[in-house]
Structure 1
Amino acid sequence: MTKVLLIGGGGFIGSRLALRCLAEGFSVRVADVQLPVADQVASRDIEYMAGDFSETSDLDGMLKGVDIVVHLVHRAMLLGLDSSMLPEIERNVVPAIKLFDRCLEYPGLRLLFVSSGGTVYGDPDERRPLAEHAALRPISVYGTSKSMIEKALGLYVAQRGLRALVVRPGNAYGPGQVPFKGQGLIPTVMASALQGKPVTIYGDGTAIRDYIHVEDIAEGIVAAMTAGRNGEAYNIGTGRGVSINSLINDHIRPLVVAQGLDIDLRYVESRGVDVSYNILGTAKLTNECGFTAKTQLEDGIAETWNWILRGYSSVGQ
């Protein structure tokens, strides 16, 4: 049986991916900095391991006996203009390159790097879905470090013979995404409405994003892992975009109002690190790997709202 190692698999995307891999018949090992508590164990059929993949001794334990490695880790997602690139490189780029080096010591091992379709492309010259061959021109520290890791991985594929590929997911959302963490607008807007907190919108709310349900991302990763070509990059998106204003006012606000609540939006100056347009072209993943996102935005938002209602209705949580 093929064994998959999910480095950083205890997170939002990783936990869904672990279950999807199980459903597809893979053996799954999840490695993260700490073991999950009992109610966070996704399945008893998943092997959990605590460790730091930047430490060689921990990494060797993680890699032992696996066939595929999925790199999901990103420490401290930084978006502010005052964020420094040097600690970002030390925190995320250097450990990734060390991982690539170590993977070469395990013949036959394949690696999949989870990049960021929402940030690596930057602001496109034309407002149309972005194909994988588009230039990588990130405007944030986070997107820059992701693109640096991609470029380094491409070098390892071309010169060192590493078997690897890249996926670039759009803006993930869905049940299980914790609000107020600086990432995940949808759950943050919902929980803020429940708790009477204002929501800060950077810019005028016209920025367009490709929001994709976490279950679709997990399925897209497995599709690329199974049928993707060595050295290639694959977008995982819906091919459809929605503005922040439309997302909130047309999709989230009706659910909130039905509960007798409202959303307090506070518009502030743009941060200068957020792209104004991002819709991912999906033809490559569809044509080569047979994947198409299934979850409609309105259905995914309703599902997320029900999850938020159960866990974040009390002020102060």
Structure 2
Amino acid sequence: MRVLIIGGAGFIGCNLAAHHLDKGNHVILLDNLSRPRTHHNLDWLHRKAQSEGRADHLSFHPVDIRDFPPLRRVLAETEPDLVVHLAGQVTVTKSVLNPREDFEINALGTFNVLEAIRTQPRPPAMIYASTNKVYGGLEDVAVVLDGMRYRYRDYPNGIAEDRPVDPKSPYGCSKCAGDQYTRDYARIYGLRTVVFRQSTIYGPHQFGLEDQGWLAWLMIATATGRPITIYGDGKQVRDMLHVHDLIAAYDAAWERMDTVAGEVFNIGGGVTNTLTIWSETGPWLEALAGRAIPVTYADWRPGDQRVFISDNRKAERLLGWSPKIGIREGAQQLWDWVTANRDLFS
């Protein structure tokens, strides 16, 4: 099997690449290395492939998805069976500051990927990493404060795919455009595409930043003594999905591609794997670090959801998938990776 991972040097991409190398598959990485520290992940993958005698199973192409000709050329030359499209501008804050760049990367870039696939003699299947931000701020969904955390009043299983999309930021709009184009290319052109509206993904090799990858960022800041700002009251709830569970979902979609092409799935930790931004995470991190962690509070950010929990029941039904790694076990793995690699964050 030949897998093309677009955004392959990123956090999810490098974990997915390692997974397919372990399975003996040929892995083609495409990335413009614009995200800070992605070269560390690329170096790690090359070392892994070399040490395991699989250097010929890994190739890298420094291509930007906004540049269509080289993108199409890579697909034509490598002839992948599956494309996993992970590349993108990934933060709400940057999209507000530079909406044109956000659009060009997420909307136009995804259109370019789809066109590059469509014009191949043998179009590969594609999995697109979308986001729960396509649902917007969910202002009409009743949320109540229950002790130190928020919860949905009327959605005990979380938010399902029948929720109308209503993005509330340039980032949400651009990802929603890619989301809808990916779905429609299955309907109009018969491409085998699947959309994953992903919740908070975490795990090793995640170089989290303040505005994206929040759990990794809090751990990095704690381990390196950097200042921490909590936006809102810290009682916001997110469902947390370990990257290895996400990869299992990708595998499940690939194995069932002929029956699930054109489908959209909410993919997250679900109701059993939730964590607050700070009211629960803070004390736990203080216990890990063995010291008090000072934080500064700031205003809520636009479009910030007080709760997001993914209803995974469609994925359970059609993909036979559910998360296996609990939040405490997975977060401990992330902490161990961060503290073992402090030199990467200097």
Give the alignment's TM-score, normalised by structure 1: 0.89
* Cα distance change on mapping 1:181 and 1:270 into 2, 3 Å: closer
**Counterpart pick for 2:289 among 256, 259, 275:** 256
* Cα distance change on mapping 1:57 and 1:309 into 2, 3 Å: same
Alignment of 1:40-189 (within 5 A): 40-41=45-46, 42-43=48-49, 44=55, 45-64=57-76, 65-75=79-89, 77-79=91-93, 82-106=96-120, 107-117=122-132, 119-124=133-138, 125-126=141-142, 127=152, 128=155, 129-180=158-209, 182-189=211-218
- Structure 1: unaligned runs, 5 residues or longer: none
Q: Tell me if structure 1 keeps the 8 A contact 2:192–2:261.
A: yes
- Between 206-215 and 133-142, report the one with greater CA deviation: 133-142
Task: Tell me the secondary structure at the aligned position of residue 6 of structure 1.
Answer: strand
Q: Tell me if structure 2 keeps the 8 A contact 1:139–1:274.
A: no
Q: Distance in 1 between matches of 2:280 and 2:247?
A: 22
Alignment of 1:172-211 (within 5 A): 172-180=201-209, 182-211=211-240
Task: Tell me the secondary structure at the aligned position of residue 210 of structure 1.
Answer: strand
Structure 2 partner of 1:4: 3
Structure 1 residue 181: Cα displacement: 5.7
**Counterpart pick for 2:277 among 235, 240, 244:** 244
Q: Tell me if structure 2 keeps the 8 A contact 1:81–1:271.
A: no
Structure 1 residue 236: Cα displacement: 1.8
Q: Distance in 2 between matches of 1:148 and 1:212?
A: 24
Q: Tell me if structure 1 keeps the 8 A contact 2:6–2:31.
A: yes
- Give the root-mean-square deviation of aligned CA atoms: 2.4
- Between 185-194 and 35-44, report the one with greater CA deviation: 35-44
- Between 268-277 and 48-57, report the one with greater CA deviation: 48-57
Structure 1 residue 209: Cα displacement: 0.5
**Counterpart pick for 1:303 among 295, 309, 333:** 333
Q: Distance in 1 between matches of 2:209 and 2:123?
A: 41
Task: Tell me the secondary structure at the aligned position of residue 245 of structure 1.
Answer: coil
- Structure 2: unaligned runs, 5 residues or longer: 50-54, 143-151
Q: Distance in 2 between matches of 1:80 and 1:172?
A: 19
- Between 98-107 and 262-271, report the one with greater CA deviation: 98-107
- Between 78-87 and 145-154, report the one with greater CA deviation: 78-87
Q: Tell me if structure 2 keeps the 8 A contact 1:172–1:214.
A: yes
Task: Tell me the secondary structure at the aligned position of residue 97 of structure 2.
Answer: coil
Q: Distance in 2 between matches of 1:277 and 1:67?
A: 37
- Between 122-131 and 30-39, report the one with greater CA deviation: 30-39
Task: Tell me the secondary structure at the aligned position of residue 335 of structure 2.
Answer: helix
Show CA shifts across 1:116-161 (max 9, x none): 13x2222332422011221112222222211111112233222222
Structure 1 residue 75: Cα displacement: 3.0
Structure 1 residue 245: Cα displacement: 2.6
* Cα distance change on mapping 1:82 and 1:230 into 2, 3 Å: closer
- Between 280-289 and 80-89, report the one with greater CA deviation: 80-89
More helix as a share of residues = 2
* Cα distance change on mapping 1:22 and 1:195 into 2, 3 Å: closer
Q: Distance in 1 between matches of 2:229 and 2:83?
A: 37
Q: Tell me if structure 2 keeps the 8 A contact 1:227–1:289.
A: yes
Q: Distance in 2 between matches of 1:39 and 1:80?
A: 28
Give the alignment's TM-score, normalised by structure 2: 0.82
